[in-house]
C-alpha cells in the first residue's frame, strides 16, 4: 500500500472524484502532476504545503509564503516529514521541483 496522501489523512473529500468536489471544489493537491511522486505521494498529496491554492480548514489557502507557518504546524506535514526521514523533500526542494 502507498503512503497516505493529504486528502486521505484530512478526509476532506476534495481529491478528484471525491465526495465533496461538487460542493467545495477540487483541491490542487489532488491534480498537480508536477508533484506526482514527491515524498512518495500521488500528485501533490504529500507536498500540499508547497502548492498554492490548496484547500484546508474549509478555506482556499494562498501561496506558499502566505500559508507556510500554518502548514508547518499541520499534523499531516509532521507525519510526512517523519515518515520520509532522510528522503524528505522540504519546502525549498519542493518549490524548486515545482518551478
Q: Domain for residue 60, yes or no?
A: yes
* CA angle centred on 89, ends 83 and 94, rounded to 5°: 140
pLDDT at 60: 76
pLDDT at 53: 84
- pTM, rounded to two decimals: 0.88
Q: Domain for residue 66, yes or no?
A: yes
Please give the tally of structural domains in the chain. 1
Which of the residues in the chain have pLDDT under 70? Answer: 1
Q: Domain for residue 1, yes or no?
A: no
Question: What CA–CA distance (Å, rounded) separates 53 from 93?
Answer: 19
pLDDT at 70: 85
pLDDT at 1: 54
Range of the domain at 55: 6-98
Q: Domain for residue 50, yes or no?
A: yes
The alpha helices in the chain, defined as continuous H runs, are 6-10, 21-24, 64-72, 75-84, 91-98
Q: Domain for residue 84, yes or no?
A: yes
Q: Domain for residue 82, yes or no?
A: yes
Amino acid at each position: 500500500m502507498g503512503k497516505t496522501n493529504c486528502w486521505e489523512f484530512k478526509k476532506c473529500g476534495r481529491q478528484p472524484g471525491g465526495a465533496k468536489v461538487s460542493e467545495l471544489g477540487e483541491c490542487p493537491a489532488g491534480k498537480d502532476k508536477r508533484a506526482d511522486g514527491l515524498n512518495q505521494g500521488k500528485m501533490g498529496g504529500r507536498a500540499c504545503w508547497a502548492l498554492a491554492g490548496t484547500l484546508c480548514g474549509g478555506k482556499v489557502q494562498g501561496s506558499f509564503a502566505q500559508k507556510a507557518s500554518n502548514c508547518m504546524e499541520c499534523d499531516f506535514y509532521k507525519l510526512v516529514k517523519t515518515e520520509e526521514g532522510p528522503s524528505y523533500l522540504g519546502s525549498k526542494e519542493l518549490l524548486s521541483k515545482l518551478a
